[in-house]
Amino acid sequence: MARMKFLCDADRCIECNACVTACKNEHDVPWGINRRRVVTINDGKPGERSVSMACMHCTDAPCAAVCPVNCFYTTADAVVLHSKDLCIGCGYCFYACPFGAPQYPRVGNFGSRGKMDKCTYCAGGPEADLTQAEYVKYGANRLAEGKLPICAEMCSTKALLAGDGKIIAEIYKERVTRRGYGSGAWGWKTAYKETVAI
């Protein structure tokens, strides 16, 4: 089984936000929630870089560790998913997540955050694959169709890579060697406790 990861090559990202838009469209993501976002660091200064960030599907995920109702699970492809049936909307995963991935629709008054929503790596949820129930809660299940996440698939500069960690690390390494520079595999140290050695 593969160990699915995301890798954003910040030297290629042009901050077009197409990944954000494609994700929202693919999964019918509710208003106010962005499963993926592009953050521009040192904006307008020399060395400005943009990074597309979403749930990184961490090894030993902090969200799963702090969840009071055990709603998280890790698939055989190492994708971190959650059950919206179990989620009570307490917000703990949001506190623990280093990447700000868990978000909540504002459905009610005081503290009623509604069910948590986050990037599913286009892998749906605990419901049976490719069912309407799964689509309504979690969005499309592209992995079950043998496709990779839409954000990476349609990235115009191929800055955002998705797939088996070893393969995308190899691709990134090759790029860095060929062009002679690279600002690092963003979030890898935090999410996977390792980085791409060049």
Partner 1 sequence: MKMAINALRALTFALALAVLGQAAPVAAQQAPNPTAQSVKEEQLLNALRGGDAVAGRITIPDRTAASLIQPEGKSFRDFHQGSLWLIGGVSILGMLALLVAFYGTRGRITIDAGFSGRTVTRFGGFERFVHWLTAGCFVILALSGLNLTFGKALVAPVFGDAAFAALAGWGKIAHNYLSFPFMLGVALMFLVWVKDNIPSKLDVEWLKAGGGILKKGQHPPAPRFNAGQKAIFWIVIIGGVAMSISGWYLLFPFESGHTVGDQQFWLNVHAVVAMIFIAVMLAHAYIGSVGMEGAFDAMGSGEVDENWAKEHHSLWLAKEKQRAGATPPNAVPAE
Stretch that binds partner 1, among 96-104, 117-125, 129-137, 145-153 (CB under 8 A): 96-104
Select from 32, 55, 73, 49 the least CA-distant residue to 151. 55
Contact flag: residue 51 with partner 1 (CB under 8 A)? yes
Minimum CB–partner distance for residue 147 and partner 1 (Å): 25
**What size, in residues, is the chain?**
198
- What part of residues 115-174 is at the interface with partner 1 (CB under 8 A)? none
CA distance 39 to 164: 24
Q: Kindly give, in sequence order, each residue whose CB lies less than 8 Å from that of residue 180, ignoring residues fewer than 6 positions away.
A: none
User: Which of 47, 76, 178, 197 contacts partner 1 by CB under 8 A?
Assistant: 47
Determine if 42 is a binding residue for partner 1 (CB under 8 A).
Answer: yes
Give the distance, in angstroms, between the CA of residue 55 and the centroid of all CA atoms in the same chain: 3
Q: Is residue 32 within the footprint of partner 1 (CB under 8 A)?
A: yes
- C-alpha dihedral, 102 to 12 to 49 to 47, nearest 10°: 170
> Judged by CB under 8 A, which of 71, 123, 150, 151 binds partner 1?
71
111 binds partner 1 (CB under 8 A): yes
The residues with which 52 forms a beta bridge, in sequence order, are: 38
Q: Is 197 in the site for partner 1 (CB under 8 A)?
A: no
Q: Which two tokens stand for residue 97?
A: 């997540």
Binding interface with partner 1 (CB under 8 A): 10-11, 15, 17, 20, 32, 34, 37-43, 46-51, 53, 62, 65-71, 85-92, 94-100, 103, 106, 110-113, 180-190, 195
